[in-house]
Amino acid sequence: MNDLTQLSLAATRDGLRAKSFSAREVADAYLDAIEQAPALNAYVAVTQEQAREMAKASDEKLAKGEGGALEGVPIGVKDLFATQGVHTQAGSHILDGFKPEYESFVTARLWADGAVMLGKLNMDEFAMGSSNETSYYGPAVNPWRAAGSNKDLVPGGSSGGSAAAVAAWLCAGATATDTGGSIRQPAAFTGTVGIKPTYGRCSRWGIVAFASSLDQAGPIARSVEDAAILLTSMAGFDPMDSTSADLEVPDFAAAVERGVRGLTIGVPAEYRMEGMPAEIEALWAEGLKWLEAAGATIRDISLPHTKYALPAYYIVAPAEASSNLARYDGVKYGLRVTGEDLLDMYELTRAEGFGREVKRRVMIGTYVLSAGYYDAYYKRAQRVRTLIKRDFEEAFADGVDAIVTPATPSAAFGIAEQDMHADPVKMYLNDIFTVTVNMAGLPGISVPAGRSAEGLPLGLQVIGRPWDEETLFAAARVIETSRGMDFAPTKWWI
């Protein structure tokens, strides 16, 4: 069978259980596809031998009528997740050669459920970026191209490799992380589905830290159902993570077809930004009509502190990054550049090991935490964060079940089209619709809903109450079934 990579994750799982094909056949099909796609630069390490060993073990279990929820299903892993004995560098030179002796909680749960690891996926360095252009390994490339154009486009960031690999049939699903939109924005750019769950739903243990109060793991998949299946395996309580919630994990896939009849969907006035492209506005309006036709009530709401979210985020996140990244000094692991003394080694290692964007954010973070500026910047940003969270709480308390907004302010743009060094704020504006969700710790999902005038994917975002990812899957499924179009890119990279 030559089209195993074209199957959904759910269909792959079901076919393996029915013994329609073997886990080894599926793994080989994906490994062949990866080998033919170097132009996408989606993988920074491919684990062929390990994948085939894991597939063999899955076939043995399936032959006995055993196996976990994802037995034999091939998965790609964002380079931010620790994988025992396997390349884990967070897209950075400073972790050169690092292979951890432990497994992240999330990937350990996936392997326990029978998933097969294909390799590690490209990403912005330390998850700092909105285009996957800050990676030490070079940018991942979006499998989508504008109609009539051969120009390479960004897949979004920081989980650009995850989104590109899923969209290009290089894995059945992928792990990703979201600190300010790093799951939802690349999902929107690549026509895939990505969910950032409630903060605490997935353990952060074994994930390289960017901003600890904002980081959250989640899946990117080709459909709402596939994302729900993956999240069910990824989520769960972990005593090793003090922010992990000790809550039962629902069967998220069971909620996908629940529908939205009787739900109230909020539409925040503050997300109608000045200069918003007409096609984004039209897509938003159409998505609301689909939900209304499915039985939901649409209501205008106000989230008055939204305008402060982006500047507050770019104080809080760099501040936490400057603290988290202080551990990389060349002493125990990763890159080491020899100097005249210990301090010189620190400086030379960090100068060579960190990229420009990481250095920028570390310096910003150090500045806002320094004496004399802590109260003026960091403390004030945390107060704004509280107000943003309160806006959502008041909307939900007033009977709103979910909130629908655009996922991004535009479709995917060209690689090197936005000069992040000359004008970093322009790049940061790509996160304008997503950062509020992280600041408030809420769940949010991006689902492909339409295409731009150039034929590129556009996504809508659904934001939910804490711990209510089930409503997000139900609403996203309504959008998915209403859109009436396919989101499969043309294979130009083979």
Q: Which two tokens stand for residue 41?
A: 């630069």
Chain centroid, CA 302 distance in Å: 27
Cα–Cα–Cα angle for 402, 403, 404, rounded to 5 degrees: 125
C-beta of residue 237 within 8 angstroms of C-beta of residue 247:
yes
Facing residues of 16 across strands? none
Longest alpha-carbon distance in the chain: 70
Nearest alpha carbon to residue 355 among 118, 157, 214, 61: 157
DSSP-derived letter for residue 40 is G
Q: How far apart are CA 179 and CA 192, in angstroms?
A: 18
Residues composing the chain: 494
Question: Is 56 tagged catalytic?
Answer: no
Residue among 22, 92, 135, 182 flagged as catalytic = 182
Question: Is 78 tagged catalytic?
Answer: yes
Residue among 78, 131, 159, 162 flagged as catalytic = 78
Strands 193-196 and 43-46: unpaired
H or E element, residue 461: strand 457-464
Q: Which amino acid is at 372?
A: G
Could you tell me where the beta strands, DSSP code E, fall in 253-386? 264-268, 297-301
Facing residues of 74 across strands? 116
Facing residues of 328 across strands? none
Residue among 158, 159, 162, 244 flagged as catalytic = 158
Q: Which two tokens stand for residue 176?
A: 């990703």
Q: Is the N-terminal amide bond of 212 cis, ω within 30° of 0?
A: no
Question: Is 92 tagged catalytic?
Answer: no
Tell me which residues are annotated as active site. 78, 158, 182
